[in-house]
């Protein structure tokens, strides 16, 4: 148990350094990824048979490393010893040491185990979490319909059973702060996996990830804040859903099969959705139309409760593909629709309102690998066309480039789409991205990415076609986990609506942003580690606004006692919401914390983990943020208004998290 915990904590530390170096958003390590790492550590990945999807799930390997490992297996045969990884050009010692705890060279086949062993002799995990903030927000004492009907306590209960990766099931119950129902959110799943005809069967909640996300991608997907060598998305088509996020997943059943190189999948889902109700049937109270979808997952007051699970959404899909060692070609189809009328999907004038009729979407996706070049892409058709094509090319063992082009028609729409794009939705965009990575020495790495994009039609920011660009670069130095230095720089410009002219005609204006950061990490010994982060941000929309963040973090893992300590002190000064800075904080296992720093203040947190025997773990996390000079604040800002139900009558907000885990 202690070994597993140390590995996971080391993963946090290591990945945060890689995130700074590779220009990954620090929020990339999500709850789903932490769960996957625990699973992988339990059954390990066979590096000789692992698919690209399994290798990519580790997050330690970028696209180029995944492709080169698979190409090495094809050309040189299976690995006999893990030390052979050193001959793969893109695998440095840091990467090899990172993946060793999660891989093996031998596969345990499902047919070696009896049914009774599979059903009852696996691993059990129980997790219970309690968290609360204080002082209370005004909404808890409000007498109007905005009053929160529950306590300020947030609770989570999770149970998981797994026999290696072959058979898993579990459930979770969650109550958000302010909700009165102790089981406001319930999720469950049952998954069977094998190397036979039925590759995977899921009953309950699950994700569907198809191609590059043009028609469907409900799992985690990196957006434009992606490193140059990770522009391609890689994931199994179906996977069980275990996140505490209450939105954007499927509920029903999903099945994937394979016969040699021929693969297929199918799924059906019926899920209830939170909405803002527009009209109801006076005879039976059924919702006839709604104006918007609520993705917060909050059901705290009368207004939020009235729209809870008010509309049903049905989805179904099927796909076929041929997969070989160095190429893949697949066809995907899905259809989805609501049982009520969606009055207005967007405010854009170029899109007629979607009235709730089922929308079908088709796509073909491909990839092929030839020597040091990897090509991939997807073509989709729904209400119109969308296409994405890219390539990753290793020109030298120390130099690689990537390119990605996308065209999303202004009239293209697929509800579950999530792909590489400037905007939040897939549609009304045309762009091209160039990236490169240079390993200057064994210890110094430089990466560069530039993206040019345009919106052919109206968008949420401008009333006429617009253009923009983003540039990001980073350089990093690492020395055998003893010292890490990372410097990042980003800048961008996009067109937006300007002020009205004298004749009442809107003009074009520009929105500029610049961000830079410096990260230092040093390990004094095997027990003590220090990290420093300094970030600056400038944002111009008419006038320049600036933001600043400085954080100091200490990680102490004494070997004499079964406890770990992590503490961070940060000061920040951000002039406006547009110049706010995000920084991911370390949290309890499966937890997530990435507060936005707005205003002027100080933030501190301390996280302690205690091993109580070999099967019980306890996490305690305390955090506090202070805004000197303010009397009323809202979370994430030094400014507050007593009329805001979420405002807090204090200039200091504290939070406590306690998590308990039992493993059998």
The pLDDT tens digits of the residues spanning 445-493 come to 999 999 999 999 877 667 788 999 999 999 999 887 678 899 999 999 9
- Answer yes or no: do 233 and 298 share one domain: yes
Q: Among 44-48, 175-179, 320-324, 562-566, which is the least confidently predicted range?
A: 44-48
Q: Is residue 317 part of a domain?
A: yes
Mean pLDDT for the stretch of residues 593-612: 91
DSSP 91: -
Identify whether the C-beta of residue 155 lies closer than 8 Å to the C-beta of residue 276.
no
- Answer yes or no: do 265 and 146 share one domain: no
Q: Among 432-436, 571-575, 607-611, 646-650, which is the least confidently predicted range?
A: 646-650
Q: Which pairing describes strands 103-104 and 45-46: parallel, antiparallel, or unpaired? A: parallel
Q: Is 324 exposed, middle or buried (0-12, 13-18, 19+ CB in 10 A)?
A: exposed
User: How many percent of the chain have pLDDT more than 70?
Assistant: 87
- Answer yes or no: do 209 and 219 share one domain: yes
DSSP 585: B
The beta strand positions in 274-384, using DSSP E, are: 275-280, 287-293, 311-323, 327-338, 341-342, 359-370, 373-381
Tell me the H-state helices in 412-508. none
- Answer yes or no: do 217 and 73 share one domain: no
Identify whether the C-beta of residue 367 lies closer than 8 Å to the C-beta of residue 376.
yes
Q: Is residue 328 part of a domain?
A: yes
Task: Indicate the length of the chain as a whole number.
Answer: 664
Q: Is residue 312 part of a domain?
A: yes
**Element (H or E) spanning 532, and its range?**
strand 528-541
- Classify each residue of 264-278 as buried b or exposed e, where b means 16 or more C-beta atoms within 10 Å of its C-beta: bbbbebebebbbebb
pLDDT of residue 282 exceeding 90, the answer is: no
pLDDT of residue 144: 73
Identify whether the C-beta of residue 457 lies closer than 8 Å to the C-beta of residue 465.
yes
Higher-confidence position of 292 and 449: 449
For residues 600 and 76, give the distance between their C-alpha atoms in angstroms, rounded to a whole number.
58
Distances in whole angstroms, Cα of residue 471 to Cα of each of 142, 459, 494, 516, 574? 47, 22, 12, 12, 22
Higher-confidence position of 76 and 440: 440
| pLDDT level of residue 32 (50, 70, 90 thresholds) | low
Q: Is residue 289 part of a domain?
A: yes
For residues 195 and 256, give the distance between their C-alpha atoms in angstroms, rounded to a whole number.
11
What would the two tokens of residue 255 be?
Answer: 């099945």
Domain that holds residue 73: 44-109
β partners of residue 550: 534, 571
Q: Is residue 571 part of a domain?
A: no
- Answer yes or no: do 287 and 335 share one domain: yes
Number of domains into which the chain is organized? 3
For residues 153 and 174, give the distance between their C-alpha atoms in angstroms, rounded to a whole number.
11
- Answer yes or no: do 189 and 179 share one domain: yes
Kindly report the CATH number assigned to the domain that includes residue 95.
1.10.150
- Answer yes or no: do 320 and 346 share one domain: yes
Phi, psi of 535 (to 5 degrees): -130, 145
Predicted confidence (pLDDT) per residue in 333-353, tens digit? 999 999 888 876 554 444 444
Q: Is residue 534 part of a domain?
A: no
pLDDT of residue 509 exceeding 70, the answer is: yes
pLDDT of residue 422 exceeding 50, the answer is: yes
If you average pLDDT over every residue of the chain, what do you get? 84
Predicted confidence (pLDDT) per residue in 550-588, tens digit? 999 999 988 888 899 999 999 999 888 888 898 889 999
- Answer yes or no: do 168 and 83 share one domain: no
- Answer yes or no: do 163 and 125 share one domain: yes
What would the two tokens of residue 451 be?
Answer: 């993206």
Predicted confidence (pLDDT) per residue in 203-236, tens digit? 999 999 999 999 999 987 777 777 888 899 988 9
Q: Is the dihedral of CA 649, 654, 657, 658 positive or negative?
A: negative
pLDDT of residue 354: 52
For residues 171 and 187, give the distance between their C-alpha atoms in angstroms, rounded to a whole number.
5
- Answer yes or no: do 243 and 315 share one domain: yes
pLDDT of residue 31 exceeding 60, the answer is: no
Among candidate residues 328, 302, 197, 301, the one with its CA nearest the CA of residue 255: 197
Predicted confidence (pLDDT) per residue in 299-314, tens digit? 998 888 989 999 999 9
Q: Among 225-229, 379-383, 439-443, 582-586, which is the least confidently predicted range?
A: 225-229
Q: Among 110-124, 223-237, 316-330, 337-351, which is the least confidently predicted range?
A: 337-351
> Of the residues 334, 355, 379, which one is the last residue of a structural domain?
379
What would the two tokens of residue 11 be?
Answer: 């993963």
Q: Is residue 303 part of a domain?
A: yes
> The tokens 């190397």 sit on which residue?
195
| pLDDT level of residue 6 (50, 70, 90 thresholds) | very low
> The tokens 């104006």 sit on which residue?
291
- Answer yes or no: do 172 and 203 share one domain: no
Identify whether the C-beta of residue 487 lies closer than 8 Å to the C-beta of residue 475.
yes
Identify whether the C-beta of residue 589 lies closer than 8 Å to the C-beta of residue 8.
yes
Q: Is residue 101 part of a domain?
A: yes
Cis amide linkage into residue 475, ω under 30° from 0? no
pLDDT of residue 1 exceeding 50, the answer is: no
- Answer yes or no: do 169 and 243 share one domain: no
């Amino acid at each position: 148990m202690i070994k597993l915990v140390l590995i996971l904590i080391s993963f946090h530390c290591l990945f945060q350094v890689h995130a700074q170096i590779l220009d990954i958003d620090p929020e990339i390590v999500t709850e789903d990824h932490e769960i996957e790492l625990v699973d992988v550590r339990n059954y390990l990945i066979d590096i000789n048979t692992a698919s690209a999807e399994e290798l990519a799930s580790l997050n330690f390997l970028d696209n180029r490393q995944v492709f080169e490992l698979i190409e090495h297996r094809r050309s040189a045969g299976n690995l006999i010893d893990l030390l052979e990884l050193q001959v793969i050009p893109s695998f440095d010692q840091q990467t090899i040491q990172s993946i060793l705890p999660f891989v093996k060279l031998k596969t345990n086949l499902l047919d070696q185990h009896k049914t009774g062993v599979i059903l009852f002799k696996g691993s059990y995990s129980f997790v219970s979490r309690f968290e609360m903030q204080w002082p209370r927000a005004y909404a808890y004492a409000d007498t109007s319909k905005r009053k929160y009907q529950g306590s300020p306590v947030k609770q989570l209960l999770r149970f998981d059973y797994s026999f290696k990766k072959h058979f898993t099931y579990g459930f979770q119950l969650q109550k958000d702060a302010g909700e009165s129902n102790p089981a406001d959110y319930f999720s469950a799943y049952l998954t069977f996996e094998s190397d036979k005809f039925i590759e995977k069967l899921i009953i309950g909640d699950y994700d569907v990830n198809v191609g590059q996300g043009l028609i469907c991608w409900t799992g985690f997907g990196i957006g434009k804040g992606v490193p140059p060598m990770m522009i391609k998305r890689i994931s199994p088509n179906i996977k069980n859903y275990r996140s505490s996020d209450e939105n954007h997943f499927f509920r029903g059943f999903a099945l994937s099969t394979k016969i040699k190189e021929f693969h297929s999948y199918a799924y059906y889902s019926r899920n209830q959705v939170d909405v803002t109700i527009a009209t109801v049937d006076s005879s039976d109270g059924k919702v006839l139309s709604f104006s918007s979808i609520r993705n917060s997952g909050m059901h705290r007051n009368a207004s939020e409760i009235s729209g809870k699970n008010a509309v049903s959404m049905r989805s179904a899909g099927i796909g076929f593909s041929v997969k070989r060692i160095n190429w893949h070609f697949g066809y995907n189809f899905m259809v989805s629709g609501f049982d009520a009328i969606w009055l207005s999907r967007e405010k854009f004038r170029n899109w007629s309102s979607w009235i709730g009729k089922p929308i079908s979407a088709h796509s073909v996706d491909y990839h092929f690998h030839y020597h040091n070049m990897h090509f991939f892409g997807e073509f989709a058709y729904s209400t119109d066309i969308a296409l994405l094509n890219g390539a990753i090319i290793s020109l030298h063992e120390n130099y690689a480039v990537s390119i990605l082009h996308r065209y999303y028609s202004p009239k293209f729409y697929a509800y579950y789409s999530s792909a590489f794009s400037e905007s939040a939705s897939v549609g009304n965009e045309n762009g091209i991205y160039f990236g490169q990575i240079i390993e200057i020495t064994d210890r110094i790495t430089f990466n560069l990415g530039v993206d040019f994009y345009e919106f052919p039609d109206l968008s949420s920011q401008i009333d006429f076609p617009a253009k923009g660009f983003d540039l990001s670069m980073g350089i990093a130095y690492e020395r055998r986990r003893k010292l890490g230095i990372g410097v990042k720089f980003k800048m961008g410009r996009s067109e937006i609506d300007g002020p009205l002219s004298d004749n009442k005609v809107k003009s074009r204006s520009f929105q500029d942003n610049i961000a830079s950061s410096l990260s230092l990490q040093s390990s004094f010994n095997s027990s003590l580690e220090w990290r420093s982060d300094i970030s600056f941000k400038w944002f111009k929309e008419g006038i320049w606004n600036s933001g600043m963040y400085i954080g100091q973090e200490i990680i102490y893992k004494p070997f004499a006692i079964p406890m770990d300590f992590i503490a961070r002190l940060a000061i920040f000064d951000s002039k406006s919401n547009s110049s706010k800075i995000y920084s991911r904080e370390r949290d309890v296992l499966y937890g997530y914390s990435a507060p936005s720093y707005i205003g002027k203040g100080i933030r501190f947190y301390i996280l302690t983990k205690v091993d109580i025997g070999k099967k019980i773990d306890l996490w305690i996390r305390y955090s506090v943020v202070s805004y000197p000079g303010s009397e009323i604040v809202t979370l994430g800002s030094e400014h507050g208004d007593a009329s805001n139900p979420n405002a807090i009558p204090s200039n200091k907000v504290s939070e406590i998290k306690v998590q308990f885990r039992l493993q059998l």
